[in-house]
A = this chain, B = another copy of it.
């Protein structure tokens, strides 16, 4: 009993201290461990299995749109990084520099990639000659490094895992279409698989990617009312092509610059899953992304026939395509329940002697704790339905939470009041000037999250300066 209490008590309540709750869940659900390498984490099996499922689902969706995977070097020579002015300004202050190879100093230092636009550009400048070579729709799965000062597991670490797509096109229209297409892939993935609703929109110039003409983003809202940038897709126009001299001979026999895009999603989405769906008992994983969907927990397992029946059920459920494990360790059922809840396994199936005698089992949903008695013979048919309902309900619940924490501000007074007292998204009009954006950051501590594709007219004037408004913007505090 002491151990059971310890497991549950060890989590800080999310309402008391959300940041500590997050750290507790990340550790207690065994997603990561800290390392001797400051700012870098070790991703443990339970965490990495979630990333593998994210990879698998995203990669499949990418390939359906014609994406091909490649691999570029992890180091960038300094001279290569410096060719695009905005890009180097954005990234140079936060890269790790390799200065020695073996026992020798390098002639030119190289940075560990913080992102690979420069390497793909270098590659494309050699690989693209004719319109026949276009489009190039490449992606790589890799790790990148940004020398952050303050770090948090999954959300901001010096090294993180991601995919970065880099494409080259013959026309500006095609590049723009690909940029939006990939943003939609991300948005659909988040909603359908992670059960996280997102707002799609465009970043302001202040918030866009270093070197991009336009950055599109999907923004999600965490349980504590802070926003999380969840995936971005950039249209570079021909800016990089000019800096890296990527030209092709078009059908009309003229030499032209390509138009490029890039887009990425990272391990921070594991942080999003935790902060959107988790509760005071730990992690809650959406069934579609959960490495284990069903945890069979035998009750009084030492009695004859119990473990055999559990094994039989496990085999049946696996054959039905479910991801299942049986907890047959020698700990108490209560301890096992707590652990299943901490790890966020979507449902547990409780099976004791009386249940088995009655030919039934008790299914408990992780999100609602609803108990559903199901005939053992029906488990393979019923569990997929229960998991589907849970997946839908989780998205719906997250959407309701997001909508309930999305506020409208008509003027600065309203805006500051919301920013101070009501964590969430703030919808407010904007004149388009950087000055007002800076002022909202200074006075209310919020940043522009995006100019949503779905515009609304809240008023005719900028919430800040009162001049005519150009865009409705989502504002908020963000991770």
Contact = CB atoms under 8 A, between A and B. Distances in A.
A48 interface: yes
A112 B98 contact: yes
Contacts of A44: 70
B72 A45 contact: no
B98 A102 contact: no
Bin the interface of chain A by size: 35 or more
This protein's copies in its complex: 2
Contacts of A2: none
A71 B43 contact: yes
A46 to B, nearest CB: 9
Interface in A138-186: 138, 142-143, 145, 147, 158-159, 161
A432 interface: no
A41 B73 CA distance: 7
Interface string A245-268: 000000000000000000000000
A45 B74 contact: no
B99 A103 contact: no
A35 B145 contact: no
A143 B93 contact: no
Question: Max chain B CB contacts within 10 Å: which of A48, A49, A73?
Answer: A73
A13 interface: no
A88 interface: no
B143 A75 contact: no
A40 B123 CA distance: 12
Given A95-B102, A98-B98, A100-B97, A145 B74 contact: yes
Contact of A103 (B35, B93, B138, B161): B93
Given A42-B73, A70-B42, A147-B102, A35 B96 contact: no
A126 interface: yes
A96 B101 contact: yes
Interface in A25-51: 33, 35-37, 40-45, 48-49, 51
Nearest to A108: B38
Contacts of A126: 33
A57 interface: no
B138 A75 contact: no
A119 interface: yes
B75 A96 contact: yes
A19 interface: no
A27 to B, nearest CB: 12
B97 A71 contact: no
Contacts of A101: 96-97, 147, 158
A7 to B, nearest CB: 15
19 contacts: A33-B123, A35-B73, A42-B71, A42-B119, A43-B70, A45-B138, A49-B68, A52-B69, A71-B143, A74-B74, A93-B102, A93-B103, A96-B100, A97-B100, A99-B99, A101-B158, A112-B112, A142-B143, A143-B143
Interface of A: 33, 35-37, 40-45, 48-49, 51-52, 68-77, 80, 93-103, 110, 112, 119, 122-123, 126-127, 138, 142-143, 145, 147, 158-159, 161
